[in-house]
A and B are shown apart, each in its own frame.
Chain A
Amino acid sequence: GAVVSQHPSWVICKSGTSVKIECRSLDFQATTMFWYRQFPKQSLMLMATSNEGSKATYEQGVEKDKFLINHASLTLSTLTVTSAHPEDSSFYICSAPGTEAAKNIQYFGAGTRLSVL
């Protein structure tokens, strides 16, 4: 099956610094990837759609300048949380659609826990 790797799994940073999270499709190409945010004991909230070679599409209410997304290749999307603050602390998950388009299945990374001090 398709494997999505996400790195790092846990990051702690100081307030005001930026943090980059990587999402890689290991054995398939992904022109589209998705970034979610999950608060404790809550559901996944879609933040943005990452598009290879073009600008990301952000969901309503998500700050583009705070959450920078770059999809530089067919296997890598990055999410950079800029000038992080404690309220940005959360669990971030990426996903990518599998190669069988008709199945509409997404494969998820293991997630990144961000703690901003």
Chain B
Amino acid sequence: AQTVTQSQPEMSVQEAETVTLSCTYDTSESNYYLFWYKQPPSRQMILVIRQEAYKQQNATENRFSVNFQKAAKSFSLKISDSQLGDTAMYFCAFTASGTYKYIFGTGTRLKVLA
């Protein structure tokens, strides 16, 4: 069975600084996808970034980038130039290729300080 672990329940960062959120996972699948979703106070889940396991290159989306270490089963999210609007709960998620069933981590509550 697959598991997703987020070991940082809460984090804070000063506005304009950089923060890294950790995520590790366990799976025996060879083809899979990893995601970071953001859930702001509105509770709407928003896709932040997506990584295909077969791609060695780390995904980037503007200020958001990942450090994907397949052998270590690690998938961390780096937020650069943090903004107040980045304050949210961040969930790491795993899904095996061919299925849309997501397995979510427990989440990291990020607070960006002015």
Binding site for B on A (CB under 8 A): 32, 34, 38, 41-44, 46, 49, 91, 93, 95, 97, 103-108, 110-111
Contact = CB atoms under 8 A, between A and B. Distances in A.
Interface of B: 33, 35, 37, 42-45, 47, 50, 91, 95, 97, 100-107, 109
Contacts, number: 48
Contacts of A111: 43-44
A91 B43 CA distance: 9
A105 B50 contact: yes
13 contacts: A34-B101, A41-B109, A42-B107, A43-B91, A43-B106, A93-B43, A93-B45, A97-B100, A104-B95, A105-B35, A106-B102, A108-B37, A110-B44
Contacts of B50: 103-105
Contact of B47 (A43, A91, A105): A105
B45 A108 contact: yes
A108 B44 CA distance: 7
B107 A32 contact: no
Contacts of A107: 47
B93 to A, nearest CB: 9
A104 B33 contact: yes
Nearest to B45: A108
Given A41-B109, A44-B91, A110-B44, 9 more contacts: A34-B101, A42-B106, A42-B107, A46-B103, A104-B33, A105-B47, A105-B50, A108-B37, A110-B42
